[in-house]
Amino acid sequence: MKKLFYILCLLLIFADVASAQKLPAPPDYGRVVINNYSEKAGFAPVVFDHWLHRAMFTCRICHVDIDFAMEAGATDINADSNKKGFYCGACHDGNRVFGNKKMFASCSDKGQQDDSKICDKCHSYRKQVKKEYNFETFTAKWPQKGLGNRIDWEDVEAKGLIKPVDSVEGISIKKSPLRAREDFSIGSKGSWMTDVIFSHKKHTVWNGCEICHPDIFQVEKGATRYSMLQIYGGEYCGVCHGKVAFPLIECQRCHTKPVQ
């Protein structure tokens, strides 16, 4: 009886949340607006799109090697750090080549470089900026699934339509022993593993190991206990799911059996 009541409450919370904050449109899902300094300096806030970058790079490169926080606005990125080759400037340095193309540079001293079109590429929030990459054209031929970006990211990767780069010269730190790509899944264990699927193999493609271990999950069987409410609050699986990976309202993608 108590359990039933709890589950009913959870469902009500989800219904409430789902209607209150409608999911962003597919191109905007996973978009981060960064504005710790820009507006104060008279520039438009910076817009970062996950759909474009995750099509080219693994999550690991940016969130482990380059050390971006997995929380909007939490990294202390500024014009200076970019100029010195950190954060966005680790790739966007005006020299580095990806796919035969030279990267556009990030911040320069005000006035020194008057190519505001380049500044506008990133400092674009609420501005009419002509971008090179358009979500609809870029993803037009990809298999679709679910909500969020409405892209079947697993399938797109498995079919080789994208090949996320996992190592960038001069950026990637030396591989630690933990990073061995063992091909394994956690079998049925704990109270939830029977009806929630979690594939190490599939997650490692994007995430390596260090994104999750030890910060989000301890490397020990059953050591971490967590509830759906905590996940919804942005902890554990909710660090990624609901923000960049598929949204939490797609219950059945994790709960293979209907929640009863």
Site for ligand HEC in 81-110 (CB under 6 A): 82, 87-88, 90-92, 98, 101, 103-104, 106-108, 110
Task: Out of 181, 194, 214, 233, point to the residue binding ligand HEC (CB under 6 A).
Answer: 181
The footprint of ligand HEC on residues 200-229 (CB under 6 A) is 200, 202-204, 206-207, 209, 211-213, 216-229
CB 217 within 8 A of CB 178: no
- CA atoms lying within 13 Å on the CB side of residue 78: 8
Residue type, 106: S
Please tell me whether residue 64 binds ligand HEC under the rule CB under 6 A. Answer: no
Distance CA 241, CA 232 (A): 9
∠ CA(231), CA(233), CA(235), 5° rounding?
A: 50
Piece of 19-27, 74-82, 135-143 that binds ligand HEC (CB under 6 A): 74-82
- Smallest separation (angstroms) from ligand HEC to the CB of 173: 14
The footprint of ligand HEC on residues 116-175 (CB under 6 A) is 118-119, 121-123, 131-133, 153-154, 168
Distance CA 223, CA 226 (A): 10
Task: Out of 61, 64, 135, 156, point to the residue binding ligand HEC (CB under 6 A).
Answer: 61
Distance CA 251, CA 232 (A): 11
Cβ closer to ligand HEC: 23 or 200? 200
Tokens read off for 229: 């409410």
